[in-house]
Structure 1
């Protein structure tokens, strides 16, 4: 028996509430992408075997070992496609879910993707990656009760369950999405934990403005296929709450790119970066390439689309 899985990736547009006054923390908005993605083929095995190409094979092996140790059976994983970690596109969650769901399908284990996320320590701050795997689309999650998660921590330091989805919209598939991926890694581990500690709790008035912007600007713009309205909402988000702190970690590099591209469409930084996403006119793509080139920053450009379905799982 074999299982083939191909996952999406995701843009994390923003966290919502890192104030917590009304009893919940986190919350998030994100968009599922058709590519890049993770594709693997898994087979039953006596031990843990991972093969393929890419920088993150150890991450696949680490997840496989969690399941092998818990359930006492091995797994062979052939990685057909992957993408780099810590660039703001959620590869850690997609890797964990792909391996975990494949393992469960191989051996008839009744675990949902959310159960897999808990076992592998994913989704403790944002529920966007898990929901992207499950259903795709533009997702808003409802964060965590402070009874479950009293403090402000990134997912790698939280054991909370993935947050519940409170809104899932189909995203316009005729809007091209471009990813500018500068060289280097974003903030993770202790650097990300320090980012949370230095910038929380946020002022309540910023959380209120952000919530208003999401509910009455960003989401209606998607429903009405209003790219200008969506772009206005995304631009304002870059200057509010925790997203502002994430962007400013890069000095003026990312904020400058956002200013350069805003006249061409929607532009923002995904998660803790450094990936910048752009949805708009083709002229903006050339402007983005020129912006990074003028600053001697190597940047990869990926053209993709929103994905309005979750991972493909074939048994």
Structure 2
């Protein structure tokens, strides 16, 4: 039996509790989108191997880390053989769209399926080592939609780290997961902004966290009374206003400031061309923006003028797709 798993990006709208002394740490909100996706192909093999054929593949350290995780997990579960994995597709690495988490989860789930093992989503997540910073990526991987999580208890958190270094002693507490209305949106990647490496992401957290408590409270207010309520009420105008409000919160400002004027020019241009809101996903530099369909197409037609790569997409409310094939 061989199989394929198609995985989808997630937009991470922001981390919330990034101060010391609170009862919980991190927490976040975001949603899954339908493109650009990646396709992982699994074949039986004598040893684990991973080939990443994407235009923007993972780096060699990340590739080795995935293989090391697969070998570690195979020693803890009754694995009889291994798999070779090939990755295709357009989902890029290190642009803030959650490819690292999605691909690691898919590699492990594919290995479990290839072995015919019984598992649940928590087994895959705990085996992956992801989810120590935010529960958005681990939740949208399986089910898509919009996710709001409350992070983890502070006594179980070891410092402030990106997802690649989070210490998973317990999974984030999921507050709400629901479908996101299929409001049209686009992804914009400014060509002037170089994506951050895993080492640069770690350094950013080390130099920027913790922030003051009042700034965390401001982000929590915008997230709950702005984003979450507008999703539940399916209120597009309130939703886009809340996204714009989130961009002014301290942690999100610190994330955006890494890219200087290049990102701000792209964001201002999108607003000038009629986007109702523009946000940066995770640590960027990918921007997401919502607008009526005809306006999105106009922006897409002007991507050369914007000096950006633009992709039009929609929310994904169904999570990854698994297809098994008889050899």
- TM-score using structure 1 length: 0.89
- 1:170 aligned to 2:179? yes
* Residues 63-74 of structure 1: pairs in structure 2 closer than 5 A: 63-71=66-74, 73-74=81-82
Q: Which residue pairs with 2:8 in the alignment?
A: 8
Cα shift readout 1:64-108 (whole Å, capped 9, x = no counterpart): 453245426320223343522101101101110111100001113
Shift, 1:292, TM fit? 7.1
Q: Which residue pairs with 2:38 in the alignment?
A: 38
Unmatched 5+ stretches in structure 2: none
Question: Helix, strand or coil: the match of 2:187?
Answer: strand
Divergent runs of 4+, >6 A:
none
Tell me the C-alpha RMSD between the 2 structures. Answer: 2.4
CA distance in 1, matches of 2:216, 2:301: 33
Q: Residue 186 of structure 2 contacts residue 311 of structure 2 at CA under 8 Å; is this kept in 1?
A: yes
CA distance in 1, matches of 2:200, 2:187: 24
- Indicate which of 210, 220, 242 corresponds to 2:251: 242
- 1:78 aligned to 2:86? yes
Q: Which residue pairs with 1:140 in the alignment?
A: 148
Shift, 1:182, TM fit? 2.5
CA distance in 2, matches of 1:261, 1:33: 19
Shift, 1:157, TM fit? 2.3
Cα shift readout 1:39-72 (whole Å, capped 9, x = no counterpart): 1221222122445622427556752453245426
- 1:283 aligned to 2:292? no
Closer/same/farther in 2, CA of residues 162 and 34 from structure 1, 3 Å limit:
farther
Shift, 1:191, TM fit? 2.0
- Indicate which of 226, 231, 235 corresponds to 2:240: 231
Cα shift readout 1:8-66 (whole Å, capped 9, x = no counterpart): 11001000110143221100011101111221221222122445622427556752453
Closer/same/farther in 2, CA of residues 285 and 187 from structure 1, 3 Å limit:
farther
- Indicate which of 95, 108, 120 corresponds to 1:100: 108
Cα shift readout 1:178-203 (whole Å, capped 9, x = no counterpart): 10122354334332223223322222
Q: Residue 257 of structure 1 contacts residue 291 of structure 1 at CA under 8 Å; is this kept in 2?
A: no
- TM-score using structure 2 length: 0.86
Q: Which residue pairs with 1:210 in the alignment?
A: 219
Q: Which residue pairs with 1:153 in the alignment?
A: 161
Cα shift readout 1:249-274 (whole Å, capped 9, x = no counterpart): 11122233333434531211111111
Q: Residue 48 of structure 1 contacts residue 61 of structure 1 at CA under 8 Å; is this kept in 2?
A: no
More deviation, 5-14/62-71: 62-71
